Structure 1
Amino acid sequence: MGEERLRIGELAAAAGVSTRTVDFYTSRGLLSPAGRSGGNFRLYDQSCVGRIAAIRQMEAQGIRLDEIAHALTSAVSGEHAKCVDLAVGPCPADPLALEQYLSSLDAQVHTLRETAGGVDDAHRGAVGVLVARAQVLIATALALSTELLPAVHLIS
């Protein structure tokens, strides 16, 4: 037997958001109903609870909803050519670009380590705040990649 499907109110309650949020995410292409009930209610897969958690975490880190939608749907649609970030590099959502971005991140962390020792006391706090922000973003990426996103089915 298949997994139990949730009506919009049940999904909202399970994810800790309002039904308006579920409607909004659905309208932006972040969520997709799995079907309709006999009473014509939208039904969502259980995996949408985790997907909403992932979306909320990315939003909390300042990632725009259009970027989140692109990242979560382009793997299926292959629409990397329409990526808004192509001017600064390959589409971040393109799985082939991931290794390039990770290599660049490694190089930047190495350079930051080398230069951080030479930062004067007046600017050390500012550098520390920026490094702490980067660390939070990396921790969020790790959490999402290992805990939430693998269990989430991409919209097809």
Structure 2
Amino acid sequence: MRIGEVADVAGVPTQTIRFYERRGLLPEPRRGANGYREYDASVLTRLAFIRSGQAAGLTLVELASILDLRRDGAVPCAHVHSLLLAKLEDIRARQRELAALEVELEGLIDRSARLDPADCSDAEICHIIAVEA
């Protein structure tokens, strides 16, 4: 298959395929006599893996580490498991941060409803978000 066919089947732009090649996520394809890239069907599996990994929140660097392990003959399941656990903990930490921010914003919104704009001084810049004494 040529790059355009691969892109159509995989649902990605040709530039994405070239980018993945440069990053080492896809192997260099063989070249036909005309210089065109010629891909075998395995590239579709690799592209599907990359898209699934990204959907799970994995970065391209993390996906490359998984592919490197597989290329070296190792089964990457334990590595993938640890990456996913780390992602989950990151998500949970961000959720806690967002919950705290939600409370803070609700407080500021409540405060803004109680304050009179006429009472706001130049020194405070904005008394809604000014530090309370």
The TM-score normalised by the length of structure 1 is 0.46
| Aligned equivalent of 2:123 | none
Write the distance in 2 (CA, Å) between the matches of 1:96 and 1:49. Answer: 20
Taking a change above 3 Å as real, the CA distance of residues 68 and 14 of structure 1, as seen in their structure-2 partners, is same
Write the distance in 2 (CA, Å) between the matches of 1:96 and 1:35. Answer: 27
| Aligned equivalent of 1:49 | 44
Cα-to-partner distance string for 1:23-77 (whole Å, 9 max, x where unaligned): 1111111111331111101111111112111100110111010110110122323
Picking from 60, 67, 73, the partner of 2:62 is: 67
1:38 aligns with 2:46: no
8 Å Cα contact 2:69-2:76 kept in structure 1: no
Gaps of 5+ in 2: 86-94, 96-133
1:5-154 matches, cutoff 5 A: 6-77=1-72, 95=75, 98=78
- Structure 1 residue 96: deviation in Å? 8.0
Give the paired residue count: 84
The structure whose RCO (Cα within 8 Å, separation 6+) is larger is 1
8 Å Cα contact 1:33-1:43 kept in structure 2: no
Identity %: 40
Gaps of 5+ in 1: 1-5, 79-93, 106-125, 127-156
The DSSP-based 3-state class of the residue aligned with 2:25 is coil
Structure label with greater radius of gyration: 2
| Aligned equivalent of 2:120 | none
Q: CA RMSD in A?
A: 2.8
Q: Which runs of 4+ in 1 moved over 6 A?
A: none
- Structure 1 residue 95: deviation in Å? 3.3
